[in-house]
Structure 1
C-alpha cells in the first residue's frame, strides 16, 4: 500500500513539473514549481517513513538527523543559487527548481540505500 502511494506521489510530482513547462506568466510558473516542490517533498517524506519502518530505533534517529541536516543544506544551497534572482519576480521559481532537483537526487539516494543488497559494501539494512 505505502509503495503504491509512494509511486503515485512520485509520478504526480513529475507530471506537475512537466506541466510547468509552458506557464502563461511568472505568477503561474512560481505557483506551479512551488507546488511541484511541495509534492516532491511529500514523496520524499513518505519514502523516508517507509524506509524507517525497516530500521532500528537508533538507525531511525540517524536517518532523521541526516534528513534534517540535508533539509538545512538544501535551504541554504537553494537560497544561494536563487540569490541572483532575489529581487526578481522569478525568485520563487528559481528557488523551487533548485529544491526540486535536490529533492529528486535525495529521493534517488534514499531509494538506493533502502533497496541495497548485502554484499562487499555494507548497507544499513540489506533488502531481501
Structure 2
C-alpha cells in the first residue's frame, strides 16, 4: 500500500477522463500507479489492480508505416505515434531499407484476438515530394 500525500491532486485517466478515486490508488501496491494511469497505457480497477491497455491495430499499422519511411535513411528500432485518444506512445519496431514490422500489443486484455499480429509496411523513395488530393 502507498501513503497518500496531504493535498494530493486528483488522478484522471487521459483516455476516458475518469477521475480515479484515491481509495483505489491506496489499494494498489504499485508505487508507480499514478504515473502509469496518467500515461494512458494503464487502467486502475476498484480493487487496486492495474491492467495494461493494448494498442489499436491502426496505431500499430501507423508505427509500421512510420518505421518504413524512417528506415529509408537509417535502421529503426522504435517509433513514436499518436493513438486515437491523442496519447503519444513509443512502439518497438524492426525497420531497415524501406521495410518495417510492428507487432500488435493487446495489453492485458486476453480477449484481444489480434494480440501478436505482425504488421509490415514498405516505403520507397520518390524523386520528389508531392501531395495527391483525395476525391
Q: Which has the higher helix share?
A: 1
TM-score greater than 0.5 by the shorter chain: no
Higher relative contact order (CA 8 A, sep 6+): 1
Report the structure number with the largest CA radius of gyration: 2
> Which of the pair is proportionally richer in strand?
2
